[in-house]
Structure 1
Amino acid sequence: MHKRKLLSLTLFLLAGTAAYALNDPVKDSTVNDSTVKKVNGFLKKITLGGVFQARYTLSLNRDVDVNGTHQPGEKEVVRNSFSLKRARLQVKAQVSDRFLAAVLVNLADFSSDPKGKVLENAYVSYRWNDAVNFMVGQFRPSFGLEDLYPVDIIKSMDFSNQYYSFGSNGWQSFQVGVSMFGAFNKTGTVPVKYALSVVNGNNRNQISDDDNGKLGTARLEFGDMSKLSVGLNGGFGAVKQQNVYAFGVDVSGVIPLAPKWDLEIQSEFKQGNNHKYYYSLPDSLRADPVSKYQMHGVYVLPNFRYKINYHKLTSIEFSMRYEYFNEDFKHTGNSRRTYIPMISLAFLKDYGGRVQLGMQIDNYDKDITGTKTHNSNLMIVQVQCRL
């Protein structure tokens, strides 16, 4: 019993001494008021966000499935299906007034082979001032309108065909590299924004680059997207020791039609080398160098918005995107024309909730049997919730 009392007293004295040392700046110079203030000032806040998108797709062609693939002779073609399009989770940490770290994952990618998928954004940005900012990691380099906002607030069912094609070639979508961006004359008559990026160009979630070449892009934007803006995009680089390029121009703006009616217009044109397609061909089928394999495309997207503000319903929108795209227009390219009429109901702020009903109508110059390069008509109902 005596030993137990002695042990308890010893532990009590040690705990008291440690507590006193931690609260006395003279005793412990490593933990003091100034240190606590620095820690509190450095670790500011962490925010969570995300988006959920689920859809029902119905193919109106008997021999075309819900993915737009032509399947002749099959006993049962899957022509209707529920699917999970996106289940994104984003974490942002405002480390200080200058440093920001962000991670974005799409958990819906686990429904198929997740290799090269799932992780979308993973970067650190540093803000010097309005005109000079830096970003390093995996992000979307600014090379057009569709790089400036997430897919859950676009005015159509999904990004354009040209976005995904230029993305697979390393100019858009999620890439690994470094970027410098900023804005000038923000309160002036013509605001100016710019972005310069250098990326690997072999898409996201790669251990390293697959060659020594890099892709460099630049974007200049004049004006205000809420009124009228014009963007100029240019890129140059090297892929497997061959030079490649891309360029584009885009226009966007909002035209007030009435107190509750707005017309939002977006349009983009892009052209560049399709080196992804070039290197997918067998050597015997490559008729020219990569510089002769070029893609180009244009789309126009008008969106009529009626601001209703009835309970949680904020707006009703009607859009119709028309797009022309050719992945190899200097050879035997197969032009693709896509029409996407859509009506959507928007709830809460910034599309916090959304119900979309639309059609995706694809018309090719030449149908290729048994592939996705085939005329199709898909009806899509999509439900969205943003966190």
Structure 2
Amino acid sequence: MHIYTLLLSGVIGISCSLQAIAQEKNIQELFTKDTTKPSFFKKVTLTGVFQARYTISFTQDVDVTGTYHPNAADEVVRNSFSIRRARLQVKAQISDRFSASTLINLAEFNGDPKGKVLENAFISYRWNDKLNFTIGQFRPSFGLEDLYPVDIIKSLDFSNQYYSFGSNGWQSFQIGASMFGTFKNGKLPVSYAISVVNGNNRNQVTDDDNGKLATARLELGPKETFAVGLNGGFGSVKKRGVYAAGLDVAGTIKLFDKWDIQIQTEYKRGTNHRFFYGLPDSLRTDPIRRYQMGGIYFLPNIRYNINYHKLTSIEFSVRYEYFNEDLDHNGNVRQTWMPMISLAFLKDYGGRIQLGMQLDNYDRSVAGTKTKSSNLFVAQVQCRL
């Protein structure tokens, strides 16, 4: 009887060990990519970026946000610490074809978060390099600045034209669907992107009219050497036709052993329907097609690849931009110079220290708005997760 008890105990022990091994194997398979058969869950990654800055206004009646306060009764705040961005992104690789991504900016809670905070929220399907689909809230490709996150751009911020075309539904975060891909044709790759969006910006429950905006981008060549992008779009806003078009060029020129210069330039023109519908009826003197916005910027960035300990590069850039929100009606031209010096640490700007100026020059000033010639100094520190 004692022998049978020992045998039974042994069988039970072996069974429990095998069960534990099987459970451990199942857990490992859950988080390990299986190349022999498709699995439901592949990988979840968490990334993010944090940007903090100190801003000084050198213009007496302009505050740190760039707002003009003539004859202000209270003190105008002309220097301040602030949190520019505190972004978290979660990306889930569901299968070898499906992925989902969500991006939030917690710094938007500093002010009125309505219509903000949530930036990206989309599902992507990859058929191959030539054919991919995205649906949800994302940035439709309609220019160079749509191809880069703000934490790796070669200036302190995106251009004025980016934000204006974004408020009109062509760029920045929009809700819709997109098809895109790349044809690798030897040394001349060709990339394309076609998008259809609501055009009333991010975090909206529904569209505000029945019209949609359709955009297309065609890019020829690798951006690492020299690439040209063509952008075009058309659509309907409150039963009126609108359009936008643009041309951009990007490239990198090797100067010396550790020196190179990266050049980006972009021209856009299109209907400023947000400006048109924001006017009182008595001031709309022409049809919507006469309300045009447009501009150009030029951004050279000289980089010294130092690779000294954690310091990877020292960079100096100057962006010049000319932008007019109403080209055909004596609009208020805005010219901006933005010189910047940057120290980059780790890989892909994992750490970054930026010192720069925003020098704005307007034809006319408007009290209580940011339409005022001014000079702002910005010191910004960045860390990427």
TM-score, reference length from structure 1 = 0.90
For 1:241 and 1:62, locate their aligned partners in 2 and report how far apart those are by CA, in whole Å.
45
Q: 2:209 aligns to what?
A: 211
Question: What is the CA–CA distance in structure 1 between the aligned matches of 2:322 and 2:42, rounded to whole Å?
Answer: 47
Q: Conserved in 1, the CA contact under 8 Å of 2:209 and 2:237?
A: yes
Shift >6 Å, 4+ stretches = 34-40
Which of 285, 288, 295 is equivalent to 2:286?
288
Give a deviation string over 1:22-64, Cα, whole Å, max 9, x none. Answer: x8xxxxxxx9xx9998997220100000000000000001111
The DSSP-based 3-state class of the residue aligned with 2:307 is strand
Shift of 1:73: 1.5
DSSP-derived class of the 2:276 partner: helix
Residue in 1 that maps onto 2:254: 256
Q: Displacement of 1:130 after TM fit?
A: 0.7
SS in 1 for 2:203: coil
Whether contact under 8 Å (2:30, 2:42) holds in the other structure is no
Partner of 1:50: 48
**For residues 235-254 of structure 1, what are the structure 2 equivalents within 5 Å?**
235-254=233-252
Cα deviation, residue 366, structure 1: 1.4
Q: Residues of 2 paired with 1:120 and 1:369: CA distance? A: 31
Instruction: State the partner residue of 1:114.
Output: 113
Within the candidate set 254, 273, 276, 2:274 is matched to 276
Distance 2:126 2:67 in 1: 46
Cα deviation, 1:144-174, whole Å, max 9, x if unaligned, reads 0000010000000000000000000000000
- 2:383 maps to 385
Return the match for 2:229 from 221, 228, 231.
231
Q: Which amino acid aligns with 1:249?
A: L
User: CA separation in 2, counterparts of 1:77 and 1:111?
Assistant: 19
* d(CA) in 1 for partners of 2:30, 2:264: 51
Tell me the amino acid that sits aligned with residue 123 of structure 2.
Answer: V
Instruction: For residues 309-355 of structure 1, give each alpha carbon's deviation from its aligned partner in whole angstroms, at most 9, with x where no partner exists.
Output: 11100000000000000000101200000000000000000000000
Please list the CA deviations of residues 67-125 of structure 1 after superposition, one character each: whole Å capped at 9, or x if unmatched.
11111222411000000000000000000000010000000000000000000000000
**Normalising by the residue count of structure 2, what TM-score does the alignment of the two structures yield?**
0.90
The structural deviation recorded for 1:189 is: 2.0
Cα distance in structure 2, aligned partners of 1:82 and 1:189? 47
Counterpart Cα distance in 2 of 1:334 and 1:152: 30
Give 1:45's aligned amino acid. Answer: K
Q: Which residue of 2 aligns with 1:134?
A: 133
Q: SS at the partner of 1:308?
A: coil
Deviation at 1:185, TM superposition (A): 2.0
- What CA distance in whole angstroms lies between the structure 1 residues aligned with 2:200 and 2:93? 29
Counting only pairs closer than 5 Å after superposition, residues 1-387 of structure 1 correspond to structure 2 as 41-74=39-72, 75-185=74-184, 188-387=186-385
Structure 2 CA distance for aligned equivalents of residues 238 and 114 of structure 1 = 28
Change (3 A) 1:239 1:309: same
Task: Please give the secondary structure, in 2, of the residue aligned with 1:110.
Answer: helix
SS of equivalent residue, structure 1 residue 146: helix
Identity score, percent: 69
Measured in 2, the distance between the counterparts of 1:374 and 1:383 equals: 27
1-structure distance, mates of 2:220, 2:256: 26
2:362 partner amino acid: Y
- Give the whole-Å Cα distance in 1 for the aligned partners of 2:201 and 2:368: 28
User: Letter of the aligned partner of 1:83 in structure 2?
Assistant: S
Aligned equivalents of 1:327, 1:242: Cα separation in 2: 19
- Over the aligned positions, Cα root-mean-square deviation in angstroms equals 1.9
Given residue 203 of structure 2, which amino acid in structure 1 is its aligned partner?
N
Classify the secondary structure of the residue corresponding to 1:155.
coil
CA contact (8 A) 2:30 2:41 kept: no
Q: Which amino acid aligns with 1:154?
A: I
CA distance in 2, matches of 1:319, 1:150: 17
Give the paired residue count: 358
SS in 1 for 2:169: coil
Alignment correspondent of 1:7? none
What SS is found at the alignment partner of 1:42? coil
* Partner Cα separation in structure 2 for residue 180 and residue 338 of structure 1: 34
Displacement of 1:370:
3.4
Structure 2 alignment gaps of length 5 or more: 1-11, 20-25
Aligned partner of residue 382 in structure 2, secondary structure: strand
Structure 1: 5+ residue runs without aligned partners?
1-15, 24-30
Structure 2: distance between partners of 1:175 and 1:375 = 31
Displacement of 1:373 in angstroms is: 0.7
Separation in 2, partners of 1:294, 1:40: 51
Q: Distance between the aligned counterparts of 1:139 and 1:348, measured in 2?
A: 28
Distance in structure 2 (CA, Å) of the matches to 1:35 and 1:267:
46
Q: Give the 3 Å change call, closer, same or farther, for CA 354–298 of structure 1 in structure 2.
A: same
Displacement, 1:367?
1.8
C-alpha separation in 1, matches of 2:115 and 2:128: 34
